[in-house]
Chain A
Amino acid sequence: MLSIRRFMLLTLVLLLSSSAMVTVIWTYWHTSHEVEEVFDASLVQNAKVLRGLVVDHRDRATLHQLQRSVSLAQIDGMPDEDNYSSGTPDDPGHPYEYQVGFQAGSLDGEQWLSTPPEFPAVSAIEPGFRTLGEGDRKWRVYTLRDPAQGIWVRSGHRIAVREELTEQVAGKVLVPILVVLPVLLLLLSLGIRRGLSPLQTIRQSLANRSSDDLQPLPSDRLPAELVPVVSSLNDLFARVAATLERERRFTADAAHELRTPLAALRIHLEKLRLPPAQSADLLCGIDRMERVVTQLLVLARIEPQRGKLPLHPLSLAPLCCTLVAELYPRGLDRGVSIEFEDDVDVEVQGDETLLGILLRNLLENAIRYTRSGDLISLRLSQEADEVCIEVIDHGPGIKAADRQIVLDRFYRESRHDGEGAGLGLSIVVLIVELHNGKLLLDETPGGGLTARVLLPRIRLS
């Protein structure tokens, strides 16, 4: 996944290490160039001094003596601090003596002087700078011809000397870079983390809020880059909240528009105090319209809440009590009685309005489909991790094969009195889903329908 922190760290690591690399390479190149200039100049000088010596000694025929005074003992391998032949206490010598050499001879091919022993012997006398030898034994030499005296002179260095010097200088530059770079990167990583912490704070506060929380994010003490982001988010929250509020208002308005005329219709009918035989059909029609309106409004209210319904701890027994009390007179009109077995009280996580609607729908269904003189029971029970609400009737029940179909919206069983809105059970299913529960339809022993709602139980700590 794309991460700003990782991207910035990676970029900085790459930039810093490549700039360190460029510094080291440039230092190496520049140093080696300068070292070359200095060493070359010293070769030329050495050659000129040697020429003077050789010219002097040739005349006095003491070349042999000169050769002995500068010659070095043969040693094995590369000379270094422990591996060189020292001279006398008066002349302790130095291992680098072996890295520096001279040759001299006459232009007619005779070689008079050569030291140290590794100095490559070359017969061709070409004046100027040349590189002689192979591999470890490469030498940089300067040859000087003096036709007037009939001599040539050559001075040289092992190339390894120059390279060592260059490497040491470049190494001195590299060491601080290698030490400082990791520390720098660590500090950078901390700095980036600190710099991005406002983002982390926003992420946290978004992750922790519940999904229906549309409060704006706090926008004080924000870095300038985040102000537009947070204010856009807050705008979005405000718009969503406004939309939700409009929707809620629309539902409420629709409820008012539909329920008020229904209320008027009912009260006008009831005030006539007609004998039941005359008013029954009218009342039945009004009942049915009321139910359809209620159920549609309930659906309109629940649907947008799917997945984001706030649930609160709720005691079910008082709710059951209220609903039975409310619906009992309606049952009585049909000769049906309702009882609530209030042996246990149970707590669930729920929404009171919706659970009330659920109980009402289950009870109304039971009332509608129960024969006069029968009893409907509402029962609460709890098991290890479930709470069970049962509505038990002794009506005709529902055939096992049809139990799924009745849960679908607007389905209504044909053999009944046509009073239902067909929405009741599908609303129950919706509400049960919103509470992470299950609805089971079973047969009551001895006939009838048992609707069983299972909800997760609250664990009391």
Chain B
Amino acid sequence: MELLLIEDDELLGRGICEALAQDYRVEWFRDGQQGLAALLDMSPDVVILDLGLPGIDGLDVLRSARRKGVTAPVLILTARDGIEDRIEGLDRGADDYLLKPFSLAELEARLRALYRRAHGRSDEKLSYRGLEIDTRLRHASLDGEALLLSRREYELLMRLLDARGQVVTRRRLEEHLYGLNEDLESNALEVHIHNLRKKIGRDLIRTVRGVGYMMDRD
């Protein structure tokens, strides 16, 4: 996954670069103009954009990029937590929104989710507590034994794995599996989770009562 980071703060920018460089390729620009130029030039997989930039504001970078046909998913970093700021960011074409300060796990989870949403898959090989998943072949195995997962079960597992360390709400999961408009049985999701647990083991997926499900961070 190739990332473009546009962040003016030296300390934070270097931190993000070094933290993500262990798993991804990161290009870092410190001001909006250069960042915008690089964005048009290199077509990254995901863009991490700080809002408070010198010279040209982050939201303007975003708008210009969208106007020029850039479709790469954009994750906004901001220190402003007002609902109206968030809505404005999303209105201008951001795909997700992360409030400073954030944890590395959260940043990685959001990046993975954005990447998957844009490309339909994440990095090709993934391993998690005895699970091995080849996302290109959509093939999963547990402790070396191949798992037979239905399409929905596979999607569910990937959605939870992408967000590992975070709770995914039931509504999000249902949207992910069925889209927004489909009417579904109220316990359809529970049935899929139940079946998935039978195949991969009870402990990997945690139930957050009344809210949703999560898989622990490694």
Tell me what chain A mostly uses at the interface: helix, strand, loop, or mixed.
Answer: helix
Name which of A264, A268, A286 has the most chain B CB atoms within 10 A of its CB. Answer: A264
Residues of the B chain whose Cβ atoms lie less than 8 Å from the Cβ of A338 = 208
User: Do A259 and B216 contact each other (CB < 8 Å), given the known contacts A322-B169, A339-B210?
Assistant: no
Residues of the B chain whose Cβ atoms lie less than 8 Å from the Cβ of A270 = 19, 103-105
Contact present for A256 and B52 (CB under 8 Å): yes
Q: Which residue of the partner chain A has the closest CB to B84?
A: A353
For window 317-375 of A, CB contacts with B under 8 Å fall at: 318, 321-322, 324-326, 328-329, 332, 337-342, 352-353
| Distance, CA A352 to CA B83, complexed state (A) | 8
| Distance, CA A252 to CA B166, complexed state (A) | 27
For window 10-48 of B, CB contacts with A under 8 Å fall at: 11-12, 14-16, 18-19, 22
Looking at the complex, which of B59-67, B74-82, B191-199 is the stretch in contact with chain A?
A: B74-82
**Quick check: is A266 within 8 A (CB to CB) of the other chain?**
yes
Contact present for A255 and B81 (CB under 8 Å): yes
- Return B53 CB to nearest CB of chain A, in Å: 11
- Return B180 CB to nearest CB of chain A, in Å: 14
What is the 8 Å Cβ interface bit string for chain B, positions 195-218, against chain A (1 contact, 0 not)?
Answer: 000000000000011111010110
**Quick check: is A89 within 8 A (CB to CB) of the other chain?**
no
Q: Which residue of the partner chain A has the closest CB to B16?
A: A267
| Distance, CA A383 to CA B179, complexed state (A) | 35
| Distance, CA A396 to CA B87, complexed state (A) | 40
Contact present for A339 and B209 (CB under 8 Å): yes
| Distance, CA A328 to CA B212, complexed state (A) | 10
Per a CB cutoff under 8 Å, which of A268, A321, A353 touches B211? A321
| Distance, CA A340 to CA B100, complexed state (A) | 26
Q: Which residue of the partner chain B has the closest CB to A301?
A: B82
For window 60-112 of B, CB contacts with A under 8 Å fall at: 77, 79-83, 85, 99-105, 107
User: Do A267 and B104 contact each other (CB < 8 Å), given the known contacts A321-B211, A339-B210?
Assistant: yes
Contact present for A329 and B104 (CB under 8 Å): no
Category for how many chain A residues contact B: 35 or more
Chain B interfacial residues counted at CB < 8 A: 40
Contact present for A262 and B101 (CB under 8 Å): yes
**Quick check: is A408 within 8 A (CB to CB) of the other chain?**
no
- Return B192 CB to nearest CB of chain A, in Å: 19
**Quick check: is A92 within 8 A (CB to CB) of the other chain?**
no
| Distance, CA A252 to CA B104, complexed state (A) | 23
- Return A238 CB to nearest CB of chain B, in Å: 20
Contact present for B211 and A256 (CB under 8 Å): no
Contact present for B171 and A340 (CB under 8 Å): no
**Quick check: is B147 within 8 A (CB to CB) of the other chain?**
no
Contact present for A255 and B80 (CB under 8 Å): yes
| Distance, CA A258 to CA B208, complexed state (A) | 33
Interface residues of B (CB under 8 A from A): 9, 11-12, 14-16, 18-19, 22, 52, 77, 79-83, 85, 99-105, 107, 165-171, 208-212, 214, 216-217
Sample of 11 further A-B pairs with CB below 8 A, known A294-B81, A321-B212: A255-B79, A256-B79, A259-B79, A262-B100, A266-B101, A267-B104, A286-B101, A329-B105, A339-B208, A353-B81, A378-B210
Can you offer 9 A-B residue contacts whose CB atoms are under 8 A? A260-B9, A261-B9, A263-B100, A264-B9, A268-B14, A325-B167, A329-B105, A329-B166, A329-B217
